[in-house]
Amino acid sequence: MVVMTPGASEAQIDAVRERLETTGVHVVVMPGELTTAIGAIGDPEGVAELGLEGMHGVDRVVPISRPYKLASSELSHHEPTVLDIRGRTVGGGATFCLIAGPCTVESAEQTLEVARTVEAGGASMLRGGAFKPRTSPFAFKGLGLEALEILAAAREQTGLPVVTELLDPSHADAIAAHADVVQIGARNMQNYALLEVAGRLGKPTLLKRGLSSSLDELLQAADYVLKEGNEAVILCERGIRTFETATRFTLDLGAVPWLKLHSHLPVVVDPSHAAGDRRLVEPLSRAAAAVGADGVMVEVHPDPEHALCDGPQALFASDFARYAADLAAHAQLLGKVLA
């Protein structure tokens, strides 16, 4: 929609109409009492590139259609996307998925112990970082390939599908060979080359919301993966930066019903990275279930006090079964079973 200035002349209105028509859109001129609005119905992309804001008599250009396409519930699909990951269902409203595991794979013993504990407690999938994005370049960056092999062994022992982060395109083949779900971390949500690589791996992608990214930007990032022909994308709300510093990030729970409304993709919540404090993880997990999330991803460690990364937010493995049972009861209130 192009809004003309109050003093715009007929010639200026005609010039805008003619320029719009060069893109093949259907143009409707709507004279008002003070100003004239010109509606362009058709491909918004072509219109955005016309540079109409610079034309004489144009006040502003207001996009009516949404910037994301493939992730939108309006345009591509009408049915919610439901994923089957080694027999675990994500999305669709009948199930709740619980992805649990250590922040980082530290050793075979630590990871296998957590894997066995979370599997026994009812988890749907195992998470674990092999290549870690760290704020400081001097912090532990993960065991890399060795960690991928440990995760594969944990899957072998427990049957749990493995979720792990793709940090660098050069790791893509190794990640594809070991992971069931490829995680794109918050810091890489707008790493468009990496998103395209993830899209081409042919594995479900768990896309975390950037620390300071809007939901529009998250859905456009999802479009990068979807346009590679990969329809299996899970969105993850993990907290954003706000003026509030009491929690590590501010968990945007409103994002969940908003995303469910505007996208067909499943949405999970990571309360661990949002809270940064294990005491908040259980109430935030319940809240995620209550606002309609398709699942939760949480960090669990056998000995969080000695964890190499994110210990303060990790649930004690010994508490996991009780936590999972409580969460399952909350998911059940919405008619969902842990799966």
Nearest CB to ligand PEP, comparing residues 103 and 118? 103
Residue showing the smallest CB distance to ligand PEP in the complex: 185
Taking CB within 5 to 8 Å according to partner kind, which of Mn ion, ligand PEP, none is near residue 186? ligand PEP
Contacting Mn ion within 109-148 (CB under 5 A): none
Cα 187 to Cα 207, 212, 276, 279, 318: the distances in Å are 11, 9, 16, 25, 31
Minimal distance in Å, beta carbon 185 to ligand PEP?
3
Minimal distance in Å, beta carbon 296 to Mn ion?
14
Residues 77-116: x where in contact with Mn ion by CB under 5 A, - otherwise, as a string: --------------------------x-------------
Minimal distance in Å, beta carbon 127 to Mn ion?
9
Nearest CB to ligand PEP, comparing residues 61 and 103? 103
Nearest CB to ligand PEP, comparing residues 61 and 268? 268
Tell me the C-alpha distance between 118 and 112, whole Å: 10
Minimal distance in Å, beta carbon 212 to ligand PEP?
12
Tell me the C-alpha distance between 6 and 21, whole Å: 23
- Enter the DSSP assignment of 50: T
Contact yes or no for 216/209 (Cβ under 8 A): no
Minimal distance in Å, beta carbon 184 to ligand PEP?
8
CB neighbours of 333 closer than 8 A, spacing ≥ 6?
289, 290
Minimal distance in Å, beta carbon 79 to ligand PEP?
28
Q: Which of 97, 205, 310, 324 binds Mn ion (CB under 5 A)?
A: 310
Helix (H) or strand (E) holding 71: none
Cα 74 to Cα 67, 70, 77, 238, 254: the distances in Å are 12, 9, 7, 25, 20
* Site for ligand PEP, rule CB under 6 A: 103, 129, 133, 165, 185-187, 208, 238, 270, 273
Nearest CB to ligand PEP, comparing residues 2 and 274? 274
Contact yes or no for 20/49 (Cβ under 8 A): no
The three-state secondary structure class of 323 is: helix
Helix (H) or strand (E) holding 211: none
Nearest CB to ligand PEP, comparing residues 238 and 260? 238
Between helix 192-200 and helix 215-226 the angle, nearest 10°, is 40
Taking CB within 5 to 8 Å according to partner kind, which of Mn ion, ligand PEP, none is near residue 208? ligand PEP
| Cα angle 95-331-232, degrees, rounded to a multiple of 5 | 35
Minimal distance in Å, beta carbon 297 to ligand PEP?
7
Backbone angles phi, psi at 240, to 5 degrees: -125, 165
Nearest CB to ligand PEP, comparing residues 14 and 192? 192
Residues that bind Mn ion (CB under 5 A): 103, 310
